A and B are shown apart, each in its own frame.
Chain A
Amino acid sequence: MIWIGNIPVSPGEGGVYGERMLEGYRVWDPFRSKFSALHMLGKEIELSPEMRVLYLGAAHGTTVSHVADYVEVVYAIERAPLPMRHLLRVAERRKNVIPILADAREPETYAHLLEEVDLLYQDVADQAQVEIALRNRIFLKTGGLLVLMLKVPCIDCTSGPEAILESARDGVAKGYEIFDHSWLAPYHEDHAAIMGKKKVVADE
């Protein structure tokens, strides 16, 4: 991750969503992007030029565009047609963004387009967020990285957030070795990041 002072930035052509530019770099606002917030909180996830990324829940493509500035290719999955329209404009300018209109809960509908990836980044508003992370594990190379941005209110809004995070971590642990987690406050309320490595599971 490139920093200018204490501001995270990415190298690339600006004007994607009205982001500010700083010394020729695109400012990566932690209040808009959870990935940037994670870095601001001291959890560095290294992005390198040869990396392949599977991005679930690409939405309008703001974070996608920053990630794409760093890596070789981003497979961007989004299921809603309206944000996809915007994402398509992003992918028009960034040839390493592969836009796919599909539901992350159904990997069988887009598996034929994907290759093995180094990073699985997930930011979906769905009750089955944990299940989605496990189903898409198939695309991750062994030892590959999972960054799961857990939207707590989507899972359950009655039990406490700590309990939800705990049970989500237990769920994700079925397929990943979790090495860290973090709440994203003050940048994003009620969101937590779970970071893990794909582990080998016996019955595969």
Chain B
Amino acid sequence: MISYWFGDVDGEHCMPAPREKEALLKRISSIRTNLREYTPADWQLASKAGFVRDRMEYLKWLHLLCMEVTEVRVRQSLERDDGELIRLVGLLDALAFSINHIREQLSRLQEIDSPLRRGPHTVAKRPKEFRDGEGAHVSLAPIAEELIRMERVRASLTQQIAQRADRVAPNCSALLGGTVAARLIARAGGLEKLACMPSSSIQILGAEKALFAHLRGGEPPPKHGVIFQHGRVHAAPRTCRGRVARVIASRTAISARLDLYRGVLDREFIEETERRVARAMKRA
């Protein structure tokens, strides 16, 4: 018996599939043909079995189904694509950079304006006080409001990146949190590149400057780079931070490979990692 998109054919006999779109879509994405006993489909079998009236209808159905299946597959594979994730991380960095700069300039202006009320957050937190005529020479309120909006955008972008990282690399995200996982992937230049890295490289990704200072002369080696942003490393007491970073880096190396080649979350692996991190902390 050979399964075609429109039905199962045994010799001259054709058992048509139900003519229902959802069922057919499922059917054509699941069939894998054994080419040893395969002959290309004969559309007339589909018409004899009453699946379609004529050739026109045959092609119309096939076109419709292939369009839909392909559309869905393209969308899925672009979602799993790490290229977009990397670009999103770049966008987030650019946004953060701008926010910090604007905030800095604003607070300096404010210092000139009213030296008694210092502190970097004042302008952005209370834009209303900087309306025209209330002491400011220049109206800062619109800029301060813009700044607040940008911060809101940054928060939502961060969230979106974490969600996206969850799909691109479910294991890394479960291990490190979506944002840190996304940053690591961006630093490495892609999930595939990350999966090819030894854990010692992953451990200090993002600490390149410190690493080269160490290699060139005298400086102590960096213990961690981007993964320092991971809560467990960050919160670990100084004495065992390096060890925790090492454990997490080595588990990240494995989880990146899981993500690349399997693409589904492995809970047991994550739990085991938790245990190992806890053990590394205890030995302090």
Interface residues of A (CB under 8 A from B): 73, 81-82, 84-85, 88, 91-92, 95-101, 107-109, 111-117, 138-139
Which residues of chain B have C-beta atoms less than 8 A from A109's C-beta? 32-33
Which residues of chain A have C-beta atoms less than 8 A from B33's C-beta? 107-109, 111-112
Q: Which of A88, A92, A114 contacts B41 (CB 8 A)?
A: A114
B77: interface (CB < 8 Å)? yes
Most buried by A among B4, B43, B59, B74: B74
In chain A, what residue has the closest Cβ to B64? Answer: A95
Interface residues of B in 48-79 (CB under 8 A from A): 59-60, 62-63, 66-67, 69-71, 73-74, 77-78
Per the bound structure, the CA–CA distance linking A73 and B61 in Å amounts to: 13
* B63 pairs with A91, CB closer than 8 A: yes
B23: interface (CB < 8 Å)? no
Which residues of chain A have C-beta atoms less than 8 A from B62's C-beta? 98, 113
Which residues of chain A have C-beta atoms less than 8 A from B70's C-beta? 84, 88, 99-101
Per-residue A-contact encoding for B22-54, CB less than 8 Å = 1, 0 else: 000000100111110010111100000000000
Most buried by B among A101, A109, A138, A139: A101
In chain A, what residue has the closest Cβ to B38? Answer: A111
Per the bound structure, the CA–CA distance linking A98 and B18 in Å amounts to: 21
* B63 pairs with A112, CB closer than 8 A: no
* A73 pairs with B59, CB closer than 8 A: yes
Per-residue A-contact encoding for B1-12, CB less than 8 Å = 1, 0 else: 011110000000
CB distance from B261 to the nearest CB of A (A): 17
Q: A interface, by DSSP: helix, strand, loop or mixed? A: helix
Given contacts A99-B67, A107-B33, A112-B2, 12 further A-B contacts (CB under 8 A): A73-B59, A81-B73, A81-B74, A98-B62, A101-B73, A101-B74, A111-B40, A112-B41, A113-B28, A113-B62, A138-B40, A139-B40
| Also in contact, A81 and B78, with CB within 8 A (given A95-B59, A95-B60, A111-B33) | yes
| Also in contact, A112 and B3, with CB within 8 A (given A88-B74, A101-B73) | yes
CB distance from B77 to the nearest CB of A (A): 4
Which residues of chain A have C-beta atoms less than 8 A from B67's C-beta? 88, 91-92, 99
Which residues of chain A have C-beta atoms less than 8 A from B40's C-beta? 111, 114-117, 138-139
* A112 pairs with B66, CB closer than 8 A: no
Per the bound structure, the CA–CA distance linking A142 and B29 in Å amounts to: 29
* B66 pairs with A99, CB closer than 8 A: yes
Per the bound structure, the CA–CA distance linking A79 and B200 in Å amounts to: 35
| Also in contact, A108 and B32, with CB within 8 A (given A91-B67, A115-B41) | yes
CB distance from B228 to the nearest CB of A (A): 35
Per the bound structure, the CA–CA distance linking A77 and B246 in Å amounts to: 45
Per the bound structure, the CA–CA distance linking A73 and B77 in Å amounts to: 27
12 A-B pairs with C-beta separation under 8 A: A81-B73, A91-B66, A97-B63, A101-B74, A107-B33, A111-B33, A112-B3, A112-B4, A112-B41, A113-B28, A113-B62, A138-B40
CB distance from A70 to the nearest CB of B (A): 16
Which residues of chain B have C-beta atoms less than 8 A from A82's C-beta? 78
In chain A, what residue has the closest Cβ to B73? Answer: A101
Per the bound structure, the CA–CA distance linking A40 and B66 in Å amounts to: 33
Per the bound structure, the CA–CA distance linking A82 and B35 in Å amounts to: 29
| Top-10 shortest CB links A-B | A111-B33, A116-B40, A81-B77, A112-B31, A115-B41, A81-B74, A101-B70, A108-B33, A99-B70, A101-B73
